[in-house]
C-alpha cells in the first residue's frame, strides 16, 4: 500500500491544541506515520515551509515529508501533481477529508481515505 497524506488535514482532524505548535504537530504526525509505515510507502505533504531542522527532526526511513509553500491549496496541488505523475495511481491511497481534493485524485485513479478514519487507525 502507498499512502499520500494531506498532512494538515489529518493534524486538524482532532482539536488537540495543535495550532499552538504547528512544527511540533507536524513532527508528531510523521512519528505516528512511521509506526504505520511497516512495509508501506508513506508520504505526507504539509502546507508552507518547514521550520529550521524540522524535516531532519521528522525524517524517517519509511516516511517522506514534503512542504508545499505557495499559499492556500499548495499542498493539495502538490498531492494532485504527485498522483498525476505516478505510473500506477490505482495503488495510491490519498488521506484527506477535503472533498475537492478527494474528487480530484479519484478522477486520476487514486483511492481516498478520510482523515478522521485514518487518524483513528493511527491512534489505535
What is the distance between the alpha carbons of residues 71 and 56, in angstroms, rounded to a whole number? 23
Chain position carrying cell 512511521: 34
What is the distance between the alpha carbons of residues 77 and 52, in angstroms, rounded to a whole number? 24
pTM: 0.91
- Looking at CATH, the fold of the domain delimited by 2-123 is given as Rossmann fold (3.40.50)
Average pLDDT, the chain: 89
How do strand 63-68 and strand 111-113 relate by DSSP bridges?
unpaired
pLDDT tens figures, 38-87: 777 899 999 988 887 666 544 455 788 899 988 888 999 999 999 999 99
pLDDT score of 57: 44
pLDDT score of 56: 53
Amino acid at each position: 500500500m502507498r499512502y499520500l497524506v494531506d498532512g494538515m488535514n489529518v493534524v486538524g482532524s482532532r482539536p488537540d491544541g495543535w495550532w499552538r505548535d504547528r512544527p511540533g504537530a507536524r513532527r508528531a504526525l510523521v512519528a505516528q506515520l512511521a509506526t504505520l509505515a511497516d512495509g508501506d510507502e508513506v508520504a505526507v505533504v504539509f502546507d508552507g515551509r518547514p521550520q529550521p531542522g524540522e524535516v531532519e527532526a521528522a525524517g524517517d526511513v519509511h516516511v517522506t515529508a514534503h512542504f508545499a509553500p505557495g499559499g492556500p491549496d499548495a499542498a493539495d496541488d502538490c498531492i494532485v501533481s504527485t498522483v498525476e505523475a505516478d505510473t500506477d495511481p490505482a495503488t495510491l491511497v490519498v488521506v484527506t477529508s477535503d472533498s475537492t481534493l478527494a474528487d480530484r485524485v479519484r478522477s486520476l485513479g487514486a483511492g481516498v481515505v478520510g482523515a478522521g478514519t485514518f487518524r483513528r487507525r493511527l491512534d489505535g
